[in-house]
Amino acid sequence: MQAIKITAHGGTDGIEYGEYPNPEVGRNDVLVDVKAGALNHLDVWVRRGLPTLDLELPHVPGSDAAGVVEAVGEDVSRFEPGDRVAVTAGVNCGHCEFCRSGDPTLCVNFHLLGEHVTGVHSEYAAVPEDNLIPVPEHVDWITAGASSLVFQTAWRMLIDRADIEAGEKVLVLGASGGVGHAALQIADYAGAEVYATGSTEEKLQYAREHGADHVVNYEEQNFAEWVRSETGNRGVDVVVDYIGAGTWRDSIKSLAKNGRLVTCGGTAGGNPETDIPRIFWNQLQIIGSTMGSPGQVDDVMELVWDGTFTPAIREVLPMSQTARAHEIIEGREGFGKVVVRPDSEL
């Protein structure tokens, strides 16, 4: 089969699209004929190389995809050939204390398809049954292949971890990114007063159209000062910050007393300077969040399938142009997700 392959860590010249062995289907696996997938910033980090990852190269990346079931392993009970499915990338052991307590995202062996193990950006992918969800007939492949990771991540961050309530003030940084544009829609759906940052008027206009009540161009104005001005020096109740080093101190400054900063990553750096005096004096909460539980995935994807939430698509490219997809993400071009499809599908 044809697959995207990372052949060397570093720049985009380490990305190839070509022959790769057909996947082996285990007893609990489903063989998926992939119709579309989407990139996340995670794919950029995997390509560059992470000190905590020791991958065998070439490595097939990709944590988001959707397609048609081609075959199933002998112990699979939820799916059969011809079913439409989408990937949910979090893998857990199922038997540690955290899995047994009902929250597999806390699994001591939690890992992601495409990051720690073979991903799904290929013509065919063998995926554990538990890592698939049904896709309704009316949902197009682009939507199905682009939504799972960012919407489940943003849903868990805001609805579960930050536990936002209607009427609260929520600041979403990087509202044009994958997680950012999902968080924007979810905060609006929950009845929050939504503040959003972006770097161009086009991005700010999109944010307005998808739930933002207040927007600021962070290239032109310090967003923490703007938040203080907009809120009468009160601050916001919740900040969604997946950017990290470049925004962390201003995120903390943007919070009201007893505010919550919720994070799922650090795309601009994972070791920022912080502000401990402000944290303890204002009794702030710093909350981590990773992916979503199966129930949370079901809840949020139902709202994607019925059109309540919509993934923004920056570009749809053949998998042979995945290097260009990485450039779009790294260059912060456009709004939302970059989708790749097997060349054979185009």
Read off the CATH number of the domain in which 234 is found: 3.40.50.720
Residue 319 resides in a domain: yes
Cβ neighbors of 225 (< 8 A, separation 6 or more) are: none
Say which CATH number the domain at 15 has.
3.90.180.10
Do 122 and 19 sit in the same domain of this protein?
yes
Do 68 and 169 sit in the same domain of this protein?
no
Do 215 and 128 sit in the same domain of this protein?
no
**Going along the chain, which residue ranges are E strands?**
2-6, 15-19, 29-39, 64-72, 84-87, 90-91, 111-112, 124-128, 132-134, 169-172, 193-198, 214-217, 236-240, 255-263, 285-288, 313-318, 337-341
Tens digit of each residue's pLDDT, the chain (346 residues): 999 999 999 999 999 999 999 999 999 999 999 999 999 999 999 999 988 889 999 999 999 999 999 999 999 999 999 999 999 999 999 999 999 999 999 999 999 999 999 999 999 999 999 999 999 999 999 999 999 999 999 999 999 999 999 999 999 999 999 999 999 999 999 999 999 999 999 999 999 999 999 999 999 999 999 999 999 999 999 999 999 989 999 999 999 999 999 999 988 888 999 999 999 999 999 999 999 999 999 999 999 999 999 999 999 999 999 999 999 999 989 889 999 999 999 9
- In this prediction the pTM is 0.97
Q: What is the pLDDT of residue 67?
A: 98
Do 99 and 160 sit in the same domain of this protein?
no
Residue 298 resides in a domain: no
Please answer whether residues 48 and 95 qualify as being in contact, where contact means their C-beta atoms are separated by less than 8 angstroms.
Answer: no
Residue 301 resides in a domain: no
Do 230 and 326 sit in the same domain of this protein?
no
Do 157 and 134 sit in the same domain of this protein?
no
Domain extent, residue 9, equals 2-146+311-341
Instruction: Specify the number of domains making up the chain.
Output: 2
Cα 180 off chain centre by: 9
Residue 304 resides in a domain: no
Do 89 and 175 sit in the same domain of this protein?
no
